[in-house]
Amino acid sequence: MSMTREQILELAEFHDEKACALSFYFQPQTPRNKAHKEDAILIKDLVREAQRGLENKGKKECARADLERIVQLSSELRSNGTQGTAIFACAARNFWREYDLPPQLPGTQIFVDRHFHLKPLAHLLSAMPHLGVALVDRHRARLFELRLGEFTEWEDLFRSLPRRGRSDGYAGYEAGHAQRRVEDEALHHFKNVAEALKTALDKGMFEKWILGCQDVHRSQLEPHLHPYVSQALLGHFHADLARVSKEQMRTKSEGIVKDWQSRRCRELVAQALEQARSNGRGVTGLRRVLRSLELGEVQSLMIGENFLAHAVECSGCGHLDAHLVSFCPVCGKATHEVVDVGEAILPWVIRRDIEMFYVKDDPEFDKVGNIAALLRYRSEQNSNVQSISSGSTNPPVRSRSAYPGRLRRFASR
Ligand SMILES: [Zn+2]
């Protein structure tokens, strides 16, 4: 089951004061047939290790029931060895969620903490546009949604397309003009497809799309695309609508998205760095980025793939501070240390629908602290830092219903 934005939000906002929130990620090992047993052993080992860690902290019962349940599940996970799984649980609060994920997780892992561990999920979903894939030929068209490696077809969208052009347009092309008529029908067909794509985009059914068709049809369709439908087109692949398999569609589409993502990431990093240098709409370095996040200014966040930095989090208002202070500078309550601030900011990123990219080895980026943001606007330099967690200080959430619904990375229908 693909995750919806609401489900991801629910995880991001979950908080357990006693720090018994358990996150479990299962990444099947390859080769599959040999690894089944190893997977189960690995899970048992990880569970034992997690249990021991909790006992050392004097929290023996903390996640025990959930850990036991995961061991029981391990045989089921094995038999489903082509898929990744994530489980988020907190027995004390009667919380248990299980999700299938593409098998592209960093590994099988268990975390027990105050919040759920969302980084592996963020890696899967970061900067992932809400994607449509259209298959088109001379007579037909099919439109799919691609989320977390799964295709869903929008049946109704193209069913409403007339199979032939409007009949009143053909009065003059009767017998003897068969060829002309066929061309005319094709023209109508491609116009209709272009119109249907525009409607789908307007309705927020996708925010970016990919076209699969034969080259000859591409040149017939593209002139009819509305300019913003063209703009939302990430790329195309050669496909025969009648023959292409889902696996081929997936591979082609994922390649196109990957290229687009790395292009966009490079552009955004360059832009943020340049803007930061001129004191414009960009900031670099953890302290400034945290501040901009709290001020609600951030549009796009770029973070080094291996970025790891400590910070403190206020137990009262949720303020995050790059300085390891014992008391919150905003509300005065005690703080606790956060081992990975890159994890701690994820709830904010998700809640605010911020576009996020993980940046791979970039020396320029490394120099400025491995974290940077491009801002929507820059608020007054001397305004007070407010806590991002208290709902009342958040700017109103932008409506995402209409085009261009930048549902962004954690988008869903
Ligand atoms: Zn505080």
CA–chain centroid gap for 412, Å, is 9
CA of 334 to the centre of ligand 1 (A): 8
Q: Which pLDDT score, from 0 to 100, does residue 38 have?
A: 79
Round to whole Å and give the CA distance between 163 and 161.
6
pTM: 0.77
CA–centroid distance, 389 to ligand 1, in Å, is 9
Q: Give the pLDDT score at 403.
A: 27
Burial of residue 65, with CB atoms counted within 10 A of its CB: 0-12 exposed, 13-18 middle, 19 or more buried: middle
Radius of gyration from C-alpha coordinates of the chain: 25
Q: Output the CA 318–ligand 1 centroid distance in Å.
A: 6
The Å distance, Cα 7 to ligand 1 centre, comes to: 27
Ligand 1 geometric centre to CA of 385 (Å)? 11
Q: Do residues 46 and 54 touch, judged by C-beta distance below 8 A? A: no
Residue 219: its H or E element: helix 215-221
d(C-alpha 383, C-alpha 289), whole Å: 15
pLDDT at residue number 399: 35
For residue 204, the model assigns a pLDDT of 87
Report how far ligand 1's centroid is from the alpha carbon of 316 (Å). Answer: 5
Q: What is the pLDDT of residues 58-92, one digit of tens each?
A: 888 889 999 999 999 987 776 666 788 999 999 99
CA of 333 from ligand 1 middle (Å) equals: 5
* Nearest-angstrom CA–CA distance, 111 and 190: 51
- Check if the beta carbon of residue 136 is closer than 8 Å to that of residue 241: yes
- Please identify every stretch of the chain with a pLDDT value under 50, giving residue numbers as ranges: 1, 165-169, 171-172, 382-413
Tell me which DSSP letter residue 380 carries. -
- Residues at Cβ < 5 Å from ligand 1 ion: 314, 316-317, 319, 328, 330-331, 333
